[in-house]
Structure 1
Amino acid sequence: MKQINKLLIAVIVFGLLNTPVMAKNSHSNIRMVPASFSELAKQAKPGVVNIQTVKNIEGGGRVYKHFFGQPFGGNRDMFDEFFAPFFNQRPENRKESSLGSGFIISNDGYIVTNNHVIKDADKIKVILHDKTEYDATIIGNDPMTDLALIKIKAENLMPLKFGSSLEAEVGSWVVAIGSPFGLEQTVTAGIISAKGRILGSGPYDDFIQTDASINPGNSGGPLLNIDGEVIGINTAIIKSGQGIGFAIPSDLATGVIDQLTEQKTVSRGWMGVAIQNVTEQLAEYYGIKETKGVYVAKVYEDDPADNAGIKVGDVIFQINDKKIESSRDLTLTIAASSVGETVKVKLIRDGKEKMIKVKLGKRPEQDPDKAKIMDEYDSFGFGLKQMDSDMAKKLGYPEDIKGLVVTDIESGSQASKTSVRRGDLLMEVDRYKIDTIEDYTQYLKKIAAGRTVQLLFRRGNSHVFVVSFEKS
């Protein structure tokens, strides 16, 4: 009998040693690795679409930069990337096709995708999971968040539902569905690797990072939680980092999509201040106990903050009931507020707390502090951008140099028949010094048609030359 008891004890001990040990603080509701994602995929697939676009490209599109040199030699990739938004001159016209993804949000054909998927498209085709094809129209788009809303003429579709990205936790399972490299209805799974990622793509960066496989063509597709709810819109990858993808959070996207649905455009609140995070030095200087809040570095004249009485040197730490701990907090909070809404701004001025009511305006299309760009070619055929220190450094000029950089040259124009090329710096017109776009446009207005105009250009650090034009 004793031997039997000893044998039973040995069996029990062996069993305990080989039983997985749960952490002391583990919760019973933790979802471990799902046995399968197949049911989720079956439910979600009818709501995911493939998007194909066609654009008419002047001059060869993307391939052009691989065959044509740069004005200063050196790093071609840097130069092309720097001038990509402004460079339109190409040797010949062609059609360019691109692929992307999207997902249905209503049974009558509204579809969400990325703005960069449908931007400048002349034709948009949507392919459903059953291979049915539709032509789509753009309802509205928002470049600042890279979101777009399109529509097809269809009924009885199977839309996906939005979930809360705020409630989604790092480490939880997610599924991405899309058309990577044109491979429709591709399903990949992973976890949320991080939240609140800032990539430097704009003022509203707040990305979900995931290791669910995302590749070119996934853009605009849904990132789903384990319940099949959309918690993100897949939008970006890091080319040098395999397995790292980024999605726009659903809580940010839904507000934008609602505005696009109702008014086809997005209006954001605007205070009119330039801000920065409070450093330890600023906190000590202003007598603030914690390094939280934002320092007002500039107040734009006649904008809402200026009219309400906010001053340079104020430290904003609360908007209505929301604590402001960083510049990003303030930017997102004000952007989420309605134009015309009055917000209560709590701040510290001269060591004392103060509350100021600010009636918000509409955010301008372009940051007031950004260098201005000509909306179109000038009368000679130049596309120009105002020089700043960052641009000067990248192009090899002294950082304090002034003038206008040639970013593009219109095909067939007077400018195209000269030796001027991209990257050259326009410094003077008829010995009149040019520092800004306004200087240039105002001077040209004063010149009578038919008169010869002399433009002084600089190339690199040493070469200076003059080009003459007849004012039309």
Structure 2
Amino acid sequence: MKGSRRAVVLGLVLTLAGCRKGKEEAPAPLPPTPAEAPAPGAPPSQQQALPPDMRRALSSIAPLVESVKAAVVNVEVRDAAPSHQDTPWNGEGPDSPFGEESPFGAPFDGPREDAPRQGLGSGFVVDARGLVLTNNHVVEGATRIRVQFPDGKEMDAKVLGRDPLTDVAVLKLQGDVKGLPVVRLGDSDAMRVGDWVVAIGNPFGLASSVSLGIVSAKARDIQAGPFDDFLQTDAAINPGNSGGPLFNLHGEVVGINTAIAGQGSGIGFAVPSSLVKELLPQLEKQGSVTRGWLGVAVQELTPDLGSALGVPTGKGAVVTEVNEGTPAAEAGLKPDDVIVSAGGHPIASGHALTRTIALEAPGSTLPLTLYREGKKQEVVVTLGTRPDLEGVASREPSPEQEESPQQRVGLSLSDMDSRLARAQGLPRAGALVTEVVPGSNAERAGLVPGMVVVEAAGETVRRASDLARVVRDAPPGDALLLRVAVPGGGRVLRALTVPKQ
């Protein structure tokens, strides 16, 4: 969730009594309750297995949290985009469970619509080379990214790859990455409804916050994107948690916390780790995801449709349209075909077929099992490359776009006006400060609107473009000495620090 505060992380620790190391004796097992005990004298075949002893299940999650929290980071971004209303992750629509508000939180704070925005999210280190996973909506449009570890260490980061359609992004930390704490991606498919999970993140800027909950549901479609397959959890997730990890009891990441239901309490969603594992190699190597494509429109198979189509099953994907010149057309697929299996995997719905096809590589062959006019058939299709149906490519920022002083240090400038110079007792040449972004480096330097910069880093400043060039060309971390004229004719010095990036 991009915004002033957005990030979610789930982590969980289970300490079982009697599993401690050392010479401590394990406590004696508690006797079964009357409801658990078998009937006296009952034969072994009639004795029921005792249910799990949940009275001892959660002693403390502290050991788990201690083992993983060092790899959970705070992601701070500076965003040059004026708004994010064009993101496909808006959670809007008549069927959306989120009503009129985006599930990913409010937009980044900023003084006005066209000013640079700042926001916070979460992430976690998954590779000792400095790879950090987070949400795409946390870093989309960012011009600078700063990652902070729980011990206070800070590092700059760059986007290595991102996938808006699943809201996953990979960052690469810059600088010395030796000795980084790392967490491992687990198997989200193995998670069961009711399994414990823990979220660790930075909700509302409160670093390293921990919340405990369970997996409430699996394979949730919240209409956020075409490949929804979310884990639902009741572990507390708030703005600022976006991009953080959801841990199982083994300290493995089973999800990336991504969305919250604006109308509900204790309803959060995480991108499952099994999907992230599929995407990570492509995001790391090529920066984006290339997906397989069939070229059909499908709908859910209902029991009534199954009966009408002569299909002896209530689950599948009904083909409603086959586009010309597509892999589906070349393979001979027809409207009213009911696809029940793809690549040996059962297809329970049209949405499941879309996800399955998308995970296959373009150019690969995929066997389909389908019913046509009540008869079972096998068809082999050679997949194409999925086109940019959502227009994601058109929203990609240009990597060559130059960063303005406003984006880099929070400073808006204009050339001096002769009438203003006479009225305010200011020099007729220089860079007039017209706006200073709250919380920016320009504000910390003591610059305010109405000042005129006449010299920067030893160079004379005659117009706004002169100062813009000095700021743009300054190495990250440099402190620029500015000579500034103030209304009334006075001169002061200011030191403007260029952010590290």
TM-score (norm 1): 0.66
Which residue of the other structure, out of 125, 129, 133, is the alignment partner of 1:104?
125
Which residue of the other structure, out of 139, 143, 151, is the alignment partner of 1:130?
151
Deviation, 1:179, is 0.3
Structure 2: state its 5+ residue gaps. Answer: 1-29, 39-47, 86-97, 103-110, 398-501
Corresponding position: 1:55 with 2:55:
no
Q: Which residue of 1 aligns with 2:61?
A: 37
SS of 1:348 mapped into structure 2: strand
**Structure 1: how far apart are the matches of 2:297 and 2:306?**
18
Deviation, 1:93, is 2.9
Contact 2:292 2:361 in 1 (8 A): yes
Deviation, 1:328, is 2.1
User: Where do residues 54-453 of structure 1 align in structure 2 (5 Å cutoff)?
Assistant: 54-58=78-82, 93-153=114-174, 154-366=177-389
Q: Given the superposition, is the C-alpha separation of residues 344 and 192 from structure 1 closer, same or farther in structure 2, using an over 3 Å criterion?
A: same
Deviation, 1:220, is 0.5
TM-score (norm 2): 0.62
Q: Which residue of 2 aligns with 1:433?
A: none
Q: Given the superposition, is the C-alpha separation of residues 300 and 26 from structure 1 closer, same or farther in structure 2, using an over 3 Å criterion?
A: farther
Deviation, 1:22, is 6.8
Whichever residue aligns with residue 146 of structure 2, its letter is K
Whichever residue aligns with residue 344 of structure 1, its letter is P
Q: Which residue of 2 aligns with 1:382?
A: none
Q: Given the superposition, is the C-alpha separation of residues 323 and 220 from structure 1 closer, same or farther in structure 2, using an over 3 Å criterion?
A: same
Structure 1: state its 5+ residue gaps. Answer: 1-14, 64-76, 82-89, 377-472
**Structure 1: how far apart are the matches of 2:332 and 2:287?**
34
Contact 1:178 1:218 in 2 (8 A): yes
Deviation, 1:94, is 1.4
Q: Structure 1 or 2: larger helix share?
A: 1
SS of 1:105 mapped into structure 2: strand
Whichever residue aligns with residue 44 of structure 1, its letter is V
Q: Given the superposition, is the C-alpha separation of residues 199 and 128 from structure 1 closer, same or farther in structure 2, using an over 3 Å criterion?
A: same
1:383-416, Cα deviation, whole Å (9 max, x unpaired): xxxxxxxxxxxxxxxxxxxxxxxxxxxxxxxxxx
Contact 2:101 2:262 in 1 (8 A): no
Q: Given the superposition, is the C-alpha separation of residues 30 and 168 from structure 1 closer, same or farther in structure 2, using an over 3 Å criterion?
A: farther
Whichever residue aligns with residue 181 of structure 2, its letter is M
Deviation, 1:17, is 10
SS of 1:93 mapped into structure 2: coil
Please report the RMSD computed on the Cα atoms of aligned residues, expressed in angstroms.
3.0
Contact 1:108 1:156 in 2 (8 A): no
SS of 1:126 mapped into structure 2: strand
**Structure 2: how far apart are the matches of 1:241 and 1:98?**
23
SS of 1:252 mapped into structure 2: helix
SS of 1:155 mapped into structure 2: coil
Q: Given the superposition, is the C-alpha separation of residues 122 and 202 from structure 1 closer, same or farther in structure 2, using an over 3 Å criterion?
A: same
